[in-house]
Structure 1
Amino acid sequence: MKAAVVIPARYESTRLPGKPLLNDTGKPLIEHVYEKASMSKLASNVIVATDDQRIFDAVVKFGGLAVMTEAAHETGTSRVAEAARELDADIIVNLQGDEPEIDPENLDLLIEMQNTHRPFASTLACKFPDNASQGPGSPDDPAAVKAILGDAIAENIFQARYFTRHICPWPRQGSGQIASPSNYYLHVGLYAFSKASLMTFASAPSAPLERAERLEQLRILEMGERMTVGIIDSAAPGIDTPEDYRLFVARERKGAARQ
């Protein structure tokens, strides 16, 4: 079993243009992500898939591997599929290029799940913290995607039943007030596919629920395919806004000062 991590990276970002190349830490953001992915014990390759020459050049400069892809991809997974087409790998992990603090053990968990249980795809989720009862990062935040779990297939591994931006299940008895956020699961946007299933997914048309919620993982369920969800302790903070990046830089500098 060979596994590869592919990191899709675009220069354009509505809220944070040029995100992969931000370098207030002394190295571009994409290098931080690449370094964490390279700590995976089960992945033999890490590759950045981009459509921007500036990102390609930055990756080559720090000694990483990069491939140029078409500019027209509508999703990161589609870009990953193009990059993975010629890879010598049985399992492909899709790691977004704005996850500089990803735990490499979570990448290995995805690879293990995909290799052991052989679903169409594997992903991760964690419980919402009990102090996240309202506002950004809480179950009622549409940007915080909820994972609805089905049957358990192993310890802390479940079948995926649905994913949604809405509060689900709806706390009817509390008139919509969430008493226990930890009863809800936050979807962590990492995926592992077999190479064959990734190519099938990328060639399939988008589906109604996917378009309604703007969640590409729903395409898998609408195709009637099986998806597994591994439960982890917490989600690493991604970089979506200038404030997210400022806080990341502060954490990096604090960590460097301790060394």
Structure 2
Amino acid sequence: MLQEKSSKNALKPGSVVALIPARYAATRFPGKLMQQLGDKTVILHTHDNTVATGLFDEVIVATDSDIIYKEITGNGGKAVMSRKTHESGSDRIAEAVAELDIDIVVNVQGDEPFVQKEPLEKLLNVFKGKEGESVQVASLMQELKDQKLIEDPNYVKVAVDLNMNAIFFSRSVIPYPRDKQAAMTYYEHIGVYAFRKQALISFTNWPMTPLEQAERIECLRYLEHGVPLKMIVTEYMGVEIDTPEDLIKASQLL
């Protein structure tokens, strides 16, 4: 059962909320969100920079950790405690928004301390206007030019159609360049999503799908259920903190 220990703020129907899933026991770098980065922890940088965009009616950290919870609420932010058994960040934020009367929720990764306004604004804009009414899920991608990164399975690639909807996500090289003369752009999927609330709730009610299980890429569950993902190109070049080396790189960037 989700518990909220901080004060509740009433949200207007149709509100846009940012949720930051924050798991303490990361596999490759346990406790990474509580590592010091300059004068703040990684998770506090992520929270404060998300708030600073001014795009959201509410910014909430959803965590399984008392340590992270206290870090956010002790610095004036809003956090909720969730169950520890979630398969993904999407499952964690779905629990957090289940009872909220909101329209759109943005999943901001807790290990992305250099959150910027422009890519998040682009993400939210695709839900606006007549065309935006049909958008259920949207996400960010950036161009990959380094061949070593294109071939790296830790970099999730995405292929899109002519309308910038995702066709497939993979850790393999997609598309495969059999024709070496063909002009091809490779995109890396950035794990920042925006969902209509009902699409997110539906996602968590579906079991893991075969392609998702094979690739270990959760957004494939949407494609396997026929839900399009609108992709937005960004020049976002932040640092995702997955390893101690990433933390050093982030410190240098800071």
- Please give the TM-score of this superposition, normalised by the length of structure 1: 0.87
Pairing of 1:151-230 with structure 2 (within 5 A): 151-152=162-163, 158-174=164-180, 183-230=185-232
Identity %: 37
2:4 corresponding residue in structure 1 = none
Q: Please report how far the alpha carbon of residue 33 of structure 1 lies from its aligned counterpart in structure 2 after TM superposition.
A: 0.1
Pairing of 1:8-47 with structure 2 (within 5 A): 8-47=21-60
Pairing of 1:225-244 with structure 2 (within 5 A): 225-244=227-246
2:9 corresponding residue in structure 1 = none
Gaps of 5+ in 2: 1-13
The 1:127–1:97 alpha-carbon spacing in structure 2 relative to 1, beyond 3 Å, is: same
Q: What is the CA–CA distance in structure 2 between the aligned matches of 1:76 and 1:214, rounded to whole Å?
A: 13
Deviating more after overlay: 139-148 vs 106-115: 106-115
Deviating more after overlay: 111-120 vs 4-13: 111-120
Q: What is the CA–CA distance in structure 2 between the aligned matches of 1:37 and 1:16, rounded to whole Å?
A: 23
Query: Is the 8 Å Cα contact of residues 37 and 250 (structure 2) preserved in structure 1?
Result: no
Query: Is the 8 Å Cα contact of residues 126 and 187 (structure 1) preserved in structure 2?
Result: yes
Gaps of 5+ in 1: 153-157, 253-259
Deviations 1:96-152 (A, max 9, x none): 1000012122112212213442322000111113xx122xxx111111111100122
Q: Please report how far the alpha carbon of residue 69 of structure 1 lies from its aligned counterpart in structure 2 after TM superposition.
A: 0.4
1:212 counterpart SS class: helix
Q: What is the CA–CA distance in structure 1 between the aligned matches of 2:126 and 2:203, rounded to whole Å?
A: 18
Q: Please report how far the alpha carbon of residue 179 of structure 1 lies from its aligned counterpart in structure 2 after TM superposition.
A: 9.3
Q: What is the CA–CA distance in structure 2 between the aligned matches of 1:24 and 1:162, rounded to whole Å?
A: 35
1:146 corresponding residue in structure 2 = 157
* Number of equivalenced pairs: 238
Q: Please report how far the alpha carbon of residue 24 of structure 1 lies from its aligned counterpart in structure 2 after TM superposition.
A: 4.2
| RMSD between aligned residues | 1.7
